[in-house]
Amino acid sequence: MQQVKKGDKVKVHYHGRLNNGDTFDKSEGREPLEFEVGSGMVIKGFDDGVTGMAVGEKKTVNIPFDQAYGPRNPDMMIEMPKDRFPKDMEIEVGMPLGMSDGHGQQFQVVIAEIKDDVVLLDANHPLAGQDLVFDLELVEIVTKPLIIIP
């Protein structure tokens, strides 16, 4: 039976959970996730988890944060003066915002804390510092059609 190896294009159904059991993402009700193994399209632990699986196989993988989204980085906490926010904007802790770095790069931040004169923004990935658990089901190893050249 064919097993997944680096360079294979695969289709996988998954259910991603935190260690406390909270779901953060799943493919249920959608098309399976399609990606090339080893290409960097998914986190390392997910790539490693599907490697060696056969079509129809199901398994659960535990991915430590360093093979997922890495540790939380204190340098990704940004203090923004309150007067830089629109006057009529109601800011709340936990509110997601989009920002631009001045070079056209857009990224997501979350309001972590509101102080007297500044708002503390967290630009870490929401899953940074978290160990993850994925229930995986390998749906297909996508094979390239053979082409006959006369």
What would the two tokens of residue 27 be? 């493919």
Q: Find residue 106's DSSP bridge partners.
A: 100
Q: When comparing pLDDT for 2 and 139, which is higher?
A: 139
The DSSP secondary-structure symbol of 19 reads: T
Token pair of 37, please? 């193994």
**Percentage of the chain with pLDDT > 70?**
99
Which residues face 98 on adjacent strands?
108
Q: What is the pTM of this model?
A: 0.79
- What does pLDDT average to over the chain? 93
* Confidence (pLDDT) at 100: 84
Please provide the DSSP assignment of 78-127 as one string: EEEEGGGS-TT----TT-EEEEE-SSS-EEEEEEEEE-SSEEEEE-S-TT
Tokens of 125: 């990935």
> What pLDDT sits at residue 24?
95
Query: pLDDT over 90 for what percent of the chain?
Result: 83
pLDDT tens, 138-148?
A: 999 998 766 78
Which burial class, exposed, middle or buried, applies to 63 when counting CB atoms under 10 A from its CB (0-12, 13-18, 19+)?
buried
Q: 10 Å Cβ neighbour count for 128?
A: 16
Are 93 and 111 a contacting pair, CB within 8 Å? yes
Residue-wise pLDDT tens digits, 85-142: 998 999 999 999 988 877 888 889 999 999 999 999 999 999 999 999 999 999 999 9
